[in-house]
């Protein structure tokens, strides 16, 4: 499938409605690439006008900022803003809550004003507009639990869009003990993804995995590529990969539609 880039559309005198900000994980991480692909398939099916920045995209700077390197963060931010403003971008959609949070909340003060939307919110909007239809398919009657990414939930108050999408799958949505505003972190945020954890009695993702397993769900839906990695590792660590599968919300929908 051909993936349109912003550069080529602009060259043709067109401009996409949305820039799909793929993010580092969605671009380079083998597991997260599947999330990107699933989202692309849905965008195409719903005839959403989009393009990616391709090689012109660079890290938003989120992990640098959370690690304390404000200089590197702002270098990334100001370069990205120069690219985005150069193309006159208005709307950005992304499947990564970290990119979402940084673009939406931290770029405006630096001169980057865009309407930034998380992919689960866009899917919900497409559903409401009747452009996207979701049926249960292979997930019908299955137990699914949803893990709230911190940077989507607490950080930005988005709890319902992903849940409503999951409910559309005719599946049974089971909540974990800690959910929504009390959701337990997967352990990856604040640049922890890129380092070993400090000494403790347990890994955070292991603790969250235990909460997942208690729900007896066959799928745990995530809405963040980093949560996805942490939960996948946690489930492997408990040797439960046969029993529970980690999927992004958009993967569930794409698979239910046999895309």
Three-state SS at 162: helix
Least distance from another protein to the Cβ atom of residue 71, Å: 6
Least distance from another protein to the Cβ atom of residue 108, Å: 9
Considering the complex, state which of residue 136 and residue 237 has its C-beta at the smaller distance from another protein: 237
Least distance from another protein to the Cβ atom of residue 256, Å: 18
Distance (Å, whole) CA 139 – CA 236: 22
Least distance from another protein to the Cβ atom of residue 172, Å: 26
Distance (Å, whole) CA 253 – CA 57: 26
Considering the complex, state which of residue 24 and residue 235 has its C-beta at the smaller distance from another protein: 24
Distance (Å, whole) CA 170 – CA 90: 35
Least distance from another protein to the Cβ atom of residue 56, Å: 9
Least distance from another protein to the Cβ atom of residue 241, Å: 22
Least distance from another protein to the Cβ atom of residue 151, Å: 5
122 and 98 Cβ atoms separated by less than 8 Å? no
Two structure tokens written together for 141: 């009657």
Distance (Å, whole) CA 223 – CA 187: 15
Considering the complex, state which of residue 46 and residue 72 has its C-beta at the smaller distance from another protein: 72
Considering the complex, state which of residue 106 and residue 164 has its C-beta at the smaller distance from another protein: 106
Q: At what angle do helices 249-256 and 30-45 cross, to 10 degrees?
A: 50
DSSP string, 170-232: T-EEE--SS-GGGPPP-S-TTTGGGSPPPS-SS-HHHHHHHHHHHTT-SEEEESSHHHHHHHH
Distance (Å, whole) CA 148 – CA 54: 28
Two structure tokens written together for 220: 């745990």
Considering the complex, state which of residue 168 and residue 208 has its C-beta at the smaller distance from another protein: 208
Considering the complex, state which of residue 221 and residue 254 has its C-beta at the smaller distance from another protein: 254
Considering the complex, state which of residue 96 and residue 256 has its C-beta at the smaller distance from another protein: 96
Residues in the chain: 259
Two structure tokens written together for 189: 């945020």
């Amino acid at each position: 499938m051909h993936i349109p880039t912003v550069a080529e559309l602009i060259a043709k005198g067109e401009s996409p409605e949305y820039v799909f900000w793929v993010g580092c994980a969605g671009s380079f991480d083998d597991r997260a690439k599947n999330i990107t692909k699933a989202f692309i398939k849905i965008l195409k099916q719903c005839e959403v006008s989009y393009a990616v920045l391709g090689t012109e995209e660079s890290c938003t700077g989120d992990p640098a900022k959370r690690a304390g390197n404000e200089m590197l963060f702002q270098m990334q931010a100001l370069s990205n803003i120069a690219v985005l403003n150069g193309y006159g971008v208005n709307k950005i959609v992304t499947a990564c809550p970290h990119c979402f949070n940084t673009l939406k909340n931290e770029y405006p003060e630096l001169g980057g004003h865009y309407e930034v939307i998380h992919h689960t919110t866009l899917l919900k909007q497409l559903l409401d507009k009747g452009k996207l239809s979701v049926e249960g398919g292979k997930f019908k009657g299955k137990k699914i639990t949803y893990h709230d990414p911190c940077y989507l939930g607490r950080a930005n108050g988005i709890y319902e869009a992903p849940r409503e999408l999951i409910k559309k799958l005719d599946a049974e949505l089971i909540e974990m003990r800690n959910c929504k505003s009390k959701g337990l972190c997967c352990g990856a945020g604040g640049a922890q993804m890129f380092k070993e954890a400090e000494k403790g009695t347990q890994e955070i993702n292991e603790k969250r995995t235990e909460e997942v397993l208690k729900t007896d769900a066959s799928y745990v839906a995530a809405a963040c590529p980093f949560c996805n990695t942490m939960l996948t590792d946690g489930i492997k660590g408990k040797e439960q990969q046969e029993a529970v599968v980690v999927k992004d919300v958009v993967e569930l929908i794409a698979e239910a539609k046999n895309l």
